[in-house]
Amino acid sequence: MFSETKEGTTRILVPKQPTKSIFYNPKMELCRDIDIASVAAFVSSLSSPHQTYIDALAGTGVRGIRIAKEVGLSVAINDRSKPAYELITRNIDLNAVEERATAYNENANVLLLQNKYDFVDLDPFGSPVPFLDAACKSVKKLLLVTATDTAPLCGAHTGGLRKYAAIPLNTEYHKEMAIRILLGRVTRDLCKYDRAIQPLLSYSKSHFIRLIARVEKGAKKADDCMKRLGFIAHCFACGNRFAFYGYDMLNTESKCKLCGAKIRIAGPLYIEAIKDKGFCELVHNELEHRELGKKKEALKIVETCVNELDIPYYYEHHAVCKALKVQPTTITSLIDALHSNGYSASRTQFSDTAFKTDAGMEEVKGVLKGL
Ligand X SMILES: C[S@@+](CC[C@H](N)C(=O)[O-])C[C@H]1O[C@@H](n2cnc3c(N)ncnc32)[C@H](O)[C@@H]1O
Q: Which residues of the chain form contacts with ligand X (CB under 6 A)? A: 23-25, 28, 57-60, 62-63, 78-81, 84, 107-108, 123-125
Smallest distance from Zn ion to CB 76, Å: 51
* Partner touching 63 among Zn ion, ligand X, none, CB below 5 to 8 Å by kind: ligand X
Instruction: Select the span of 96-104, 194-202, 229-237, 314-322 touching Zn ion (CB under 5 A).
Output: 229-237
Comparing CB distances to Zn ion, the nearer of 94 and 258 is: 258
For residues 256 and 103, what is the distance between their CA atoms, to the nearest angstrom?
A: 55
* Partner touching 215 among Zn ion, ligand X, none, CB below 5 to 8 Å by kind: none
Comparing CB distances to ligand X, the nearer of 29 and 276 is: 29
Residues in contact with Zn ion, counted by CB under 5 A, come to a total of: 8
Pick from 135, 144, 121, 133: nearest CA to 54 = 121
Comparing CB distances to ligand X, the nearer of 142 and 320 is: 142
Strand segments, DSSP code E, in 160-270 are 195-205, 208-217, 229-234, 241-245, 264-270
Smallest distance from ligand X to CB 3, Å: 15
Footprint of Zn ion on 36-55 (CB under 5 A): none
The answer for 160, left when phi > 0, alpha when psi is -120 to 50, beta otherwise, is: alpha
Residues 6+ apart with CB under 8 A from 6: 12, 293
Binding mask 240-269 for Zn ion (x = CB under 5 A): x---------------x-xx-x--------
The answer to whether 200 and 212 are in contact (CB under 8 A) is: yes
Rg (CA), the chain: 21
Comparing CB distances to Zn ion, the nearer of 152 and 239 is: 239
Smallest distance from ligand X to CB 22, Å: 7
For residues 150 and 20, what is the distance between their CA atoms, to the nearest angstrom?
A: 22
* Partner touching 80 among Zn ion, ligand X, none, CB below 5 to 8 Å by kind: ligand X
* Partner touching 163 among ligand X, Zn ion, none, CB below 5 to 8 Å by kind: none
Pick from 136, 162, 135, 134: nearest CA to 149 = 162
- Specify the amino acid at residue 179: I
The answer to whether 234 and 249 are in contact (CB under 8 A) is: no
User: Which residues of the shown chain bind Zn ion in the complex (CB under 5 A)?
Assistant: 235, 237-238, 240, 256, 258-259, 261
